[in-house]
Structure 1
Amino acid sequence: MHINLDKSLYFLTSLFPIIFARDDSQLIANVVNDVLQKRYLRHPIELKGLVGTEEICRNVELLMKRVRIIGIWGMGGIGKTTIAKVLFAKLFPQYDNVCFVVKEISVDRLLFELLKEEISTSNLVGLAFDMKRLNNKKVLIVLDDVDSLDQLEHLCRDFRDLSEDSRLIITTRNRQLLAGRVDWIYKVEKWKASESLQLFSLEAFKETHPQRGYEDLATMAVKYAGGIPLALKVLGSYLRSKSIKFWESTLRKLNKYPNETIVNLLKVSYDGLDDLEKKIFLDIAFFFNGEEKDHVISILDACGFEASSGIDVLEDKALITISYNNTIEMHELLQKMGFDIVRRECSGDFARRSRLRDTEVRAVLKDNKGTDAVEGITLDLSLIKDIHLSVDTFNKMNNMRFLRFYIPLGQSPGHVYLPRALKSFSNKLRYFEWNGYPLESLPSTFHAKLLVEIRMPHSRVEQLWRGKQELDNLEGIDLSDCKHLIMLPDLSKASRLKWVNLSGCESLCALHSLSTIRLRVLF
């Protein structure tokens, strides 16, 4: 069978941007150029599963009427590539020359294609023109999933020399790559519940709503995905045509172990962090999700993390967001990814992991198996009935930076039973929270030199500690509703102390230890 190469290339390139490697580069360049100029309308790009993109694309189109270079930014799986493809498919007929580039191609190569009028092996869609010829053309370029500054620097600068009608769209997970290089950054937010359910249903049931009997399960799956289109599609595809029992089992499993496909996609941004930034990410996932930013910075700075710049990096890479009231928020799927990263540190032994939560904490404390690998523990006391601790429960956890035993608002706590005294806590503690601490004081060996914040509301303490402590980092104390508190310790060396909460401390005799301190807030 004889195949006409020219016609075959002509047909294939008309379906979607593809580059072919062949020695006869000029022939292919001419073919692709002709296709891009004349034939897209005959074979429009078909894109499926575009539920929920209409409003976003409409917003970006409106922006494109006012600005020339737009960055589309958001976390992995949020739909940036789909949005870029939809825009490209809709808008290319309005332009003389168009190009859709994926991240594997360097911008140096792109410029070579532009300037040298040559097409070679790459994912670049044909631009075989020199810059002078492009100056008088309307050009549309899409750079998708950019992750390197080298890819942008020259292109954004040289793009300004093209006609005023030319447009450049860049998608990335890293906002910092766009700063100062684009005219507008459009952040893609998580999808609304109605759009999420529709997209999930299309994947799971091939229709826009759940099948009868699956409604509640579909709602649970959509809630798990948290408005992330890729997660919705992965879960929907995985659950398609499966029984109700299979759905129930899968959703239960997801509460413990996240979907590996979703984790691998989200983890790309995490893998690009340096070691300190990774520590900050994991600390936020376990201990500080939903906490006030400045408060978190103070605690993590005491760990030597340079937290302000690290948190900025996490925000730029869409791993966290900073809300209107300056609190740090991490998407639930990213938080679960953080839990999974730590779980893989030692899958068979809780006590060898760096951070522990809830059932893991209970297991380690109950059996007194703590080790020096543990840097922090967090336990929701409403999830336990009771737990008995020994006098040396915390002795081996001498690298612990964070201890958090808390009670969610409106919940009833379980009971933590302790002997009359504890031997010690880690001297490396930066944050100590124990709601309802059951003893009269902290251990005599307790050292607060590195401590930034201590929270012990509703506790039985009569005094925190005896004698003087070096309190170089202490910024806050919460002893609210400690009905048995008689006196405060000597706080004269707490030069950084900003606030103290003593509300409801009805047995407290005097506040003379605060007389030499200039507090911002005293409750």
Structure 2
Amino acid sequence: MVTQVRNVISSLETDSEDDVRIIGIWGMGGAGKTTLARAVFDHISIRFEGKSFVENNHWKSGRFPNRLTFQTAAEDQKEIFLDVACILKGKAKYKAIRILEGCGFHAQIGLEVLEQRSLIYISYNGDVGMHDHIEEMGKNIVRRLHPNEPNKHRRLCDKEEIEEILVNDLGTKATRIMNLKNPSIHPATIIKNLQTLKALELLSVYDADRVSQKWVFNEDVKYFPDTLRSLHWTGYHASSLPKTFQANNLVNLEMPRSYISQLWEGGEKKVE
């Protein structure tokens, strides 16, 4: 066991503090995988301020996909993992696959690899799940890349950071994901300043305190970026989407508990 622990720890060593290393431990049931993982954790956890050992019972055995090179699989896996942690947790698996494939990822295989490595699980209802500790780990990975410049994050899921960026018009092309829950700023402020996030791909807004109001879109203003692949807005306050939004890249549209009655202003097709 001592030799195995040393080998795993050696494989976890990185040259950069910003690097992330994921190790999969494979073997038959009862072979001592959890015992080995626990021993490694006990040995290295003293180096970290925040740490947690999570025993996940959703693991199932499987083979690593041969059709992907390790490098490609690792990059896809890392990006998909962070997307799940920041915005896709709780999504139905088929929706998550559609959204991720719309962003150019090998979604089916990527989710399977993450599930095999116990980083995610698929619930009995078919939703993508993730343990809270692992979710927080993913969000911390995102935050520490630009701790003092959140507008440079590829993923935004901190309410205070998002609202500061929107209110002060600090959005950049760096951001591809935004997940805002229970905003304290006016809905008009959100929608008017989305135009600064010119490369935004996934947008989720949960507004529990929705306010019905007449909103008139300026036909010369680009509100929603045309790069959007997924738009999920609970409590959307307007009756339609702006005419300037070209939804050619959109693969997922969800507007629950909203006041929307037609997709585009002046359009004829009603939303059921």
Query: Structures share a fold, TM > 0.5?
Result: yes
Corresponding position: 1:421 with 2:217: yes
**CA RMSD, Structure 1 to Structure 2 (Å):** 3.9
The answer for the alignment partner of 1:455 in structure 2 is 254
The answer for the alignment partner of 1:102 in structure 2 is 4
* CA distance in structure 1 between the aligned counterparts of 2:51 and 2:254, rounded to whole angstroms: 36
* CA distance in structure 2 between the aligned counterparts of 1:398 and 1:174, rounded to whole angstroms: 37
The answer for the alignment partner of 1:465 in structure 2 is 264
CA deviations on 1:439-484 (whole Å, 9 max, x unpaired) are: 23212121222212111233333421268xxxxxxxxxxxxxxxxx
CA deviations on 1:275-323 (whole Å, 9 max, x unpaired) are: 2211101110011112221221111011110111111111122211222
Match of 2:229 among 419, 430, 444: 430
CA deviations on 1:78-124 (whole Å, 9 max, x unpaired) are: xxxxxxxxxxxxxxxxxxxxx7532445xxxxxxxxxxxxxxxxxxx
Which 5+ residue runs of structure 2 have no aligned equivalent?
A: 13-21, 35-40, 55-70
Contact 2:91-2:127 within 8 A present in 1 as well: yes
Secondary structure in structure 2 of the residue aligned to 1:434: strand
* CA distance in structure 1 between the aligned counterparts of 2:31 and 2:123, rounded to whole angstroms: 17
* CA distance in structure 2 between the aligned counterparts of 1:442 and 1:452, rounded to whole angstroms: 16
Which 5+ residue runs of structure 1 have no aligned equivalent?
A: 1-98, 106-143, 149-171, 189-229, 238-258, 267-271, 468-485, 490-500, 503-523
Contact 2:237-2:259 within 8 A present in 1 as well: yes
- Aligned runs of 1:328-407 on 2, under 5 Å? 328-357=128-157, 358-381=159-182, 384=184, 386=186, 388-389=188-189, 392-407=192-207
Closer, same or farther: CA 447–387 of 1 in aligned 2, 3 Å: closer
* CA distance in structure 2 between the aligned counterparts of 1:387 and 1:183, rounded to whole angstroms: 52
The answer for the alignment partner of 1:225 in structure 2 is none
Contact 2:88-2:96 within 8 A present in 1 as well: yes
What is the deviation of 1:414?
5.8
CA deviations on 1:145-164 (whole Å, 9 max, x unpaired) are: 8979xxxxxxxxxxxxxxxx
Closer, same or farther: CA 104–335 of 1 in aligned 2, 3 Å: same
Closer, same or farther: CA 440–387 of 1 in aligned 2, 3 Å: closer
Contact 1:276-1:305 within 8 A present in 2 as well: yes
Contact 2:242-2:265 within 8 A present in 1 as well: no
Please report the TM-score for the alignment, with normalisation by the length of structure 2: 0.72
Corresponding position: 1:262 with 2:51: yes
- Aligned runs of 1:79-90 on 2, under 5 Å? none
Secondary structure in structure 2 of the residue aligned to 1:262: coil
Secondary structure in structure 2 of the residue aligned to 1:454: strand
The answer for the alignment partner of 1:444 in structure 2 is 243
| Paired residue type of 2:94 | D
Contact 1:276-1:310 within 8 A present in 2 as well: yes
Corresponding position: 1:318 with 2:118: yes
Secondary structure in structure 2 of the residue aligned to 1:102: helix
Secondary structure in structure 1 of the residue aligned to 2:241: coil
* CA distance in structure 1 between the aligned counterparts of 2:119 and 2:191, rounded to whole angstroms: 40
CA deviations on 1:471-516 (whole Å, 9 max, x unpaired) are: xxxxxxxxxxxxxxx9426xxxxxxxxxxx82xxxxxxxxxxxxxx
Please report the TM-score for the alignment, with normalisation by the length of structure 1: 0.39
Contact 1:400-1:428 within 8 A present in 2 as well: yes
Corresponding position: 1:292 with 2:92: yes
CA deviations on 1:394-420 (whole Å, 9 max, x unpaired) are: 22212111111125xxxx426598962
Q: Which has the higher contact order (CA 8 A, sep 6+)?
A: 2
Closer, same or farther: CA 390–451 of 1 in aligned 2, 3 Å: closer
| Paired residue type of 1:362 | E
CA deviations on 1:242-268 (whole Å, 9 max, x unpaired) are: xxxxxxxxxxxxxxxxx64528x99xx
Closer, same or farther: CA 345–183 of 1 in aligned 2, 3 Å: closer
| Paired residue type of 2:175 | V
Match of 2:269 among 488, 493, 511: 488
Closer, same or farther: CA 375–418 of 1 in aligned 2, 3 Å: farther
What is the deviation of 1:385?
6.2
Contact 1:386-1:414 within 8 A present in 2 as well: no
Secondary structure in structure 1 of the residue aligned to 2:180: strand
The answer for the alignment partner of 1:307 in structure 2 is 107
Moved more, 367-376 or 383-392: 383-392
* CA distance in structure 1 between the aligned counterparts of 2:143 and 2:212, rounded to whole angstroms: 25
* CA distance in structure 2 between the aligned counterparts of 1:366 and 1:417, rounded to whole angstroms: 20
CA deviations on 1:56-79 (whole Å, 9 max, x unpaired) are: xxxxxxxxxxxxxxxxxxxxxxxx
* CA distance in structure 2 between the aligned counterparts of 1:280 and 1:359, rounded to whole angstroms: 24
Q: How many residues are treated as equivalent by the alignment?
A: 237
The answer for the alignment partner of 2:60 in structure 1 is none
Closer, same or farther: CA 316–389 of 1 in aligned 2, 3 Å: same
